[in-house]
Amino acid sequence: MTDDRRLRVALLGAGSVGSQVAALLLQHADELAARAGAELELVGIAVRDPDAPRDTDLPRALLTTDAEPLILGSDIVIELMGGIEPARAMLLQALTAGADVVTGNKALIATHGPELFEAADRVGASVHYEAAVAGAIPIVRPLRDSLAGDRVQRILAIVNGTTNYILDRMDSEGADYADVLADAQRLGYAEADPTADVEAFDAAQKAAILASLAFHTTVPLDAVHREGITAIDAQMMTAARDAGYVIKLLAVCERLDDDGAETISVRVHPALVHRDHPLASVRGANNAVFVQAEAAGDLMFYGAGAGGIQTASAVLGDVVSAARRHIAGGVGVGESTRANLPIAPFGHAVTRYQVTLEVDDRPGVLATIAGILADGGVSIATAQQTIIGGSDGADLASSRALLVIGTHTARERDLAATVERLGASDAVERVLSVLRVEGDGR
Ligand code: NDP
Ligand code: HSE
């Protein structure tokens, strides 16, 4: 197919990321050839509409709607179309033909990664997907290679730029959720359907990939507990700020001691992060991955989690790696899933909580609430009451209070059952919010 010093590269997709990858492959051809050890010849770019406007100037002759000849005639196939099909079928075809593949497709890796990795193993090829998690930030390779000799204990990660942008502006400006979401869409951070961002489907896919790498275990997407940010309101933001926290959408991947058995918990939900924690300083649409490893200690990887040119950097790094393997020969490095740790049900997760209740301000209420928590095995760490209705003591019948309870660590299932009992109690008018507290040094 090629001589030793020339590799054929096919690109599938020339949208936000693909058009930048193509432009950089063409502009920096000499430099990339020197780094890869071979000329990287872009032989063609498959798109849906060759005449559609592009973000970069690309030679019209490279654009085609016929992907198959490109896939079958190339050493490296870069997939930047997105979605499951036809991306999955095309990458399987490329791998079966012996090509190395590079993709930024988190949906595909999170749902069909094992199938692609097996196809690669059968022919000794490799699957590269640095861009699939946190855009430009190098995190796949650090987890797979740099930390391969360590034991990752926990990952706390901001992996969705849209939701971080929304929560950051709600926190810093008191902005309204709907207004900020509209801005995120206008600025191009949000997916075409923002549900993928705000309901945390995008972050859950990235969490599944991070946990698979960190714990050497195949983590199916449906094993990831997922909660989005649509229930977060201005009152919760203010309460978090007053208590010294900021609300972030976090991907949490951690080892658990589950009644003596080692398991892992993988979940995505809004969480209170103390303002002193490095993740609290991640502003705007940026991403960050905070890794706690047994020997290395705390590490943080920070930067642009999206954007065409930024993400193209990660894709090109993978292309150079794939090219080096072709030049050196030998089989590609496969995925390490040998630990195969059990994935704990969400109810087994252990963390701290902040529960905000609206209660009647009358004698015995606190004692009743404390009793319900004690019965549920949930230990109170802090409690703060603010009178919100009536006048303090003057009109007891109509007086209401906000009661914010911080708990010690508790199991999710115990906390959930306790909150249900609180909600049903005469002492509690309403359960206003239940937020998990993460990154507090557990
Ligand atoms: P876009 O929607 O901007 O581009 C998709 C491209 O794929 C278009 O050029 C489109 O062609 C082409 N395409 C779609 N379907 C087909 C098909 N059936 N046959 C041939 N071509 C097809 O996507 P992005 O560039 O934003 O994203 C690409 C991938 O990178 C996705 O997997 C995404 O999740 C991932 N990613 C994106 C990031 C970002 O910031 N955008 C960040 C990190 C990862 P046409 O132009 O003719 O319509
Ligand atoms: N919509 C995604 C985000 C793009 O907001 O982070 C990158 O995957």
Residue 135 Cβ contacting ligand 2 at under 6 Å: yes
- Sequence-separated contacts (24+) of 183-187 with Cβ below 8 Å: 184/285, 187/285
Distance 278 CA to ligand 2 centre (A): 21
For the cut 80, the answer to whether the pLDDT of residue 389 exceeds it is: no
pLDDT in tens, 177-224: 988 998 888 887 877 689 999 999 999 999 999 999 999 999 999 999
Q: Per-residue pLDDT tens for 392-416?
A: 444 555 689 999 999 999 999 999 9
CA of 166 to the centre of ligand 2 (A): 12
Decide if 206 is catalytic. Answer: yes
In order of start, what are the domains of the chain with their CATH numbers?
A: 6-136+309-328 (3.40.50.720), 140-304 (3.30.360.10), 349-438 (3.30.70.260)
Say how many Å lie between the CA of residue 381 and the centre of ligand 2: 36
pLDDT more than 70, % of the chain = 96
Q: 119-165, pLDDT tens digit by residue? A: 999 999 999 999 999 999 999 999 999 999 999 999 999 999 999 99
0.85 cut: is pTM over it?
A: yes
Cα 17 to middle of ligand 1, angstroms: 7
Whether ligand 2 lies within 6 angstroms of the CB of 191 is answered as yes
Q: Whose CA is nearest to atom 34 of ligand 1?
A: 105
Q: CB within 8 A of 407, min separation 6: which ones?
A: 352, 353, 354, 355, 373, 378, 379, 380, 381, 415
Q: What pLDDT shows up at residue 335?
A: 84
Could you give the CA distance from residue 349 to residue 345 in angstroms, rounded to a whole number? Answer: 8
**CB of 306 closer than 6 A to ligand 1?**
yes
The CB of 162 under 6 Å from ligand 2? The reply is yes
Q: Is the CB of 18 under 6 A from ligand 1?
A: yes
Ligand sitting nearest the alpha carbon of 200: 2
Residue 390 has pLDDT above 60, yes or no: no
Structure tokens at 303: 């930067």
Catalytic-role residue among 128, 169, 206, 267: 206
Backbone φ and ψ of 438, nearest 5°: -120, 155
Residue nearest to atom 8 of ligand 1 (CA): 15
**CA separation for the pair 258, 264 (Å, rounded):** 9
Cβ–ligand 2 distance for 270 under 6 Å, the answer: no
Q: Is the pLDDT of residue 290 over 70?
A: yes
CA 48 to centroid of chain Cα atoms: 28
Return d(Cα 168, Cα 163) in angstroms, integer: 8
Q: Is 354 helix (H, G, I), strand (E, B) or coil?
A: strand
